[in-house]
Amino acid sequence: MTTKVFIPRDAAAVALGAEKVVNAMAEAIAARGLDAVIVRNGSRGMHWLEPLVEVETAEGRIAYGPVKARDVASLLDSDLLDGGDHALCLGKTEEIPFLKQQTRLTFARCGVIDPLSLDDYQAHGGLAGLRNAIAMAPQDIVVQVTESGLRGRGGAGFPTGIKWKTVLEAAGARKYIVCNADEGDSGTFADRMIMEGDPFVLIEGMAIAGLATGATKGFIYTRSEYPHAIAAMAEAIEIARKAGVLGASVLGSGHAFDMEVREGAGAYVCGEETALLNSLEGKRGIVRAKPPLPAHKGLFDCPTVINNVISLASVPIIMDKGAAFYRDFGMGRSRGTIPIQIAGNVKYAGLFETAFGLSLGEIIDHIGGGTASGRPVKAVQVGGPLGAYFPRALFDTPFDYEAFAARDGLIGHAGIVVFDDTADMLHQARFAMEFCAVESCGKCTPCRIGSTRGVEVADRIAAGIEPEKNRELLADLCNTMKFGSLCALGGFTPYPVLSAMTHFPDDFQPAPRVEAAE
Amino acid sequence: MSAGTLARFGDRLPAHEPGGLLLNIHQPRTDIAETTLAIVEELKGLEGPLLPILHGLQEEFGYVPQDCLPVIARELNLSRAEVYGVMSFYHDFREHPAGRHVLKLCRAEACQSMGGDQLAERAKRLLGIDFHETTPDGAVTLEPVYCLGLCSCAPSAMLDGEVHARLDAADLEALVQEARR
């Protein structure tokens, strides 16, 4: 039987040399006349081991990593195709602790299957949720999603079912499902991974959203920085269309639903839902005032569901296994699982899907293994460039929407960036303001002007110019931005700035200004 | 190029070819207009076609020439100001051609935590340019990018659409060498 060798096509694996490994492997397989085929899977999310090569054996999949092209010959010499022992052998993939400790619901297939094989997808439970949804009334689908407790995984945490209900009940000849795949937050890559590693799950989730709300057209708006994800999604949509999963009659149900991928153009603010809608319409990515809500007047003024990739990709398993199954995971009002993205200066960086409720310390120290540099952890930024910096003193915070909010933070899209003790928090605060200035859409004054003033004030503090007065000014400016901005860009930029000031006051006390000698 | 041929700034022609007369005047080029029209015709049936059109033009020309704008405006029934307003809003769309290679370095937090700032400084020194600039020989344009989604293997970069991660000083030097060619 032909042996399958898995080498990821995920951008992280590619960036670490997966293409070279594939070429070397293909050549070696041909030269040695071996009966093996290379499958380009998604990533398992253990990025310190990428490129992670797996081989399918009678005992299960055996992993090797990180593999470089030059390792291929010695791997094959060591009977790679039979799961032979080698210095890079990690044993059974499923037994690797980082993977074994996870609860993979949304990412169950990511890294396991060939992302562009619809047969593979169905063999691993795919389309079961959509088939169940087809047999249900739209109201009942909405009830399932509502009862699952699923909340928007993009960061706002708004209940997905309630959004869907609003669109279902909204009058409109045409309705849209828009997938927000504009994953611009540093430290996040879950959307990218699912689009590259299991694109059909997103298609299925969007088709279910279409059935539930009466929408017939979907858009995935993603980033131009994600060429691999765009290519995978576009190809998967084409395959789904040919197979009748999308089109005039979704799986023969008589309900129409089709979709396309749209590419952004490097504007971070388009991750804000109303700016995204403007961008899709072909306008400047300017934030809209709410109300009207997108659920009432969204894309082209039609009722529109706009959900994050992970929210939509979590729907198929809810519709497959039922609301109660999903709701049983998690804590408090944060139900289900969350793909935590551990990034930055951390030893075991990658994607860790788990039920809500792990403490920040468990995630950083036990799962992430501390810093990559081996130095002490100074701060972690949770939730992207608009998320707060947490010191070690707050590492007991459980990963939960409300618990983070109670400590003036946010979990956002669940990305965590780890910094060691060489980080200068004043510099990080300045960067937050600088980033906001670069990316502000310009519509509201606190964000547009406040961010530029923020950079200047931070620079004055760094230069030792009237530090006390300028610290007060910076805090005051943050307050204005927080309460006066139209959207989360200006409104949340104060989180990293204020948290840095609050938790790391020493970094805001630069050496007194050296006066020029007379 | 034969003597007396007109060339304009923005054309992808050698800058100082002898015999070419370099004029900085606005004169719509028919070939740009025709190509633009073909791209617009192909995409204008889409819902919200402007971004796909601008992407298509940038792919074709390497930037979005001024001469495209009146054509788009006419075909989509927009004002030129509206088209220019959209184009200039997005970081991706260039008004002028870039170097032969574009090196994008990630400046976002995850890459900062792994020495991204130092790497960026090094790249600037190696190329002798700042962000948003092109080397005098037209080989490399250096640009910042805010996140390539490779935060778990920082610092990262993109050279002409190819991604590279976990870069150290030597990797960066190799990338710069490659781009210089």
pLDDT tens sequence across B42-95: 999 999 999 999 999 999 999 999 999 999 999 999 999 999 999 999 999 999
CB of A356 closer than 8 Å to CB of A403: no
Question: Is residue B48 within 8 angstroms of chain A, CB to CB?
Answer: yes
Report the alpha-carbon distance of residue A81 to residue A58 in Å, rounded.
11
Whose tokens are 């906001």? That residue is: A436
> Closest Cα of chain A to B3: distance in Å?
40
Q: Is the confidence at residue B154, as pLDDT, over 60?
A: yes
Predicted confidence at residue A1, as pLDDT, reads 83
Question: What tens digit of pLDDT does each residue of B90-139 get?
Answer: 999 999 999 999 999 999 999 999 999 999 999 999 999 999 999 999 99
Confidence label for A515 from pLDDT (cuts 50, 70 and 90): low
Q: Across the interface, do A262 and B51 touch by the CB < 8 Å criterion?
A: yes
Amino acid symbol at A206? M
One DSSP character per residue, B53-93 reads: HHHHHHHHHSS--TTHHHHHHHHHT--HHHHHHHHHHSTT-
Predicted confidence band of residue A514 (pLDDT cuts 50, 70, 90)? low
Mean pLDDT of A221-230: 97
DSSP symbols for A317-366 = HHHHH-HHHHHTSEETTEESEEEEEEEES-SS-EEEEEETT-BHHIIIII
In the numeric block, which tokens belong to residue A91? 């044993």
**Measured distance CA(A206)–CA(A217) in Å, rounded:** 9
Å between A342 CA and nearest CA of chain B: 7
Average pLDDT over residues A143-149: 98
Contact of B94 with chain A, judged by CB distance below 8 Å, is answered with no
- Chain A partners within 8 Å of B76 (Cβ): 282
CB-closest option in B110, B163, B166 to A187:
B110
Please indicate if any CB of chain A lies within 8 Å of the CB of B118: no
Q: Do A267 and B90 touch (CB under 8 A)?
A: yes
- pLDDT of B13 higher than 90: no
Residues of B in contact with A350 (CB under 8 A): 152
Please give the ipTM for the structure prediction: 0.94
Q: Do B152 and A285 touch (CB under 8 A)?
A: no
Taking the Cβ of residue A440 and every Cβ of chain B, the question of whether any pair is shorter than 8 Å is answered with no
- What is the structure's pLDDT at A211? 98
Q: What percent of chain A has pLDDT over 90?
A: 98
Instruction: Report pLDDT digits (tens) over B16-50.
Output: 444 445 554 455 567 899 999 999 999 999 999 99
Summarize pLDDT for A59-99 with one digit per residue, the tens: 999 999 999 999 999 999 999 999 999 999 999 999 999 99
Chain A with chain B: Cβ pairs closer than 8 A: 150
Which of B119, B117, B143, B147 is CA-nearest to residue A417? B147
Residue B11: band (very low, low, confident or very high) from pLDDT cuts 50, 70, 90: very low
Q: Give residue A512's pLDDT.
A: 63
Inter-CA distances, A185 with A194, A457, B60, B145, Å: 16, 24, 30, 12
Angle in degrees, 0-180, between the axes of helices A227-242 and A190-197, rounded to the nearest 10: 40
Q: A 166-225 residues with CB below 8 A of B?
A: 183-189, 191-192, 217, 223-225
Average pLDDT over residues A439-461: 96
Per-residue pLDDT reduced to its tens digit, A88-117: 999 999 999 999 999 999 999 999 999 999
Residue among A183, A266, A417 minimizing CB distance to B149: A183
* Least confident range of A54-58, A510-514, B18-22: B18-22
**What's the whole-number mean pLDDT along residues A299-309?**
98
Neighbours of B27 (CB within 10 A): 9
Is the confidence at residue A215, as pLDDT, over 70? yes
> Structure tokens of A516?
């020029």
Cβ <8 Å between A282 and B109 = no
* Closest chain A C-alpha to B174 CA, distance in angstroms: 14
Structure tokens that stand for B90 in this block: 């997005």
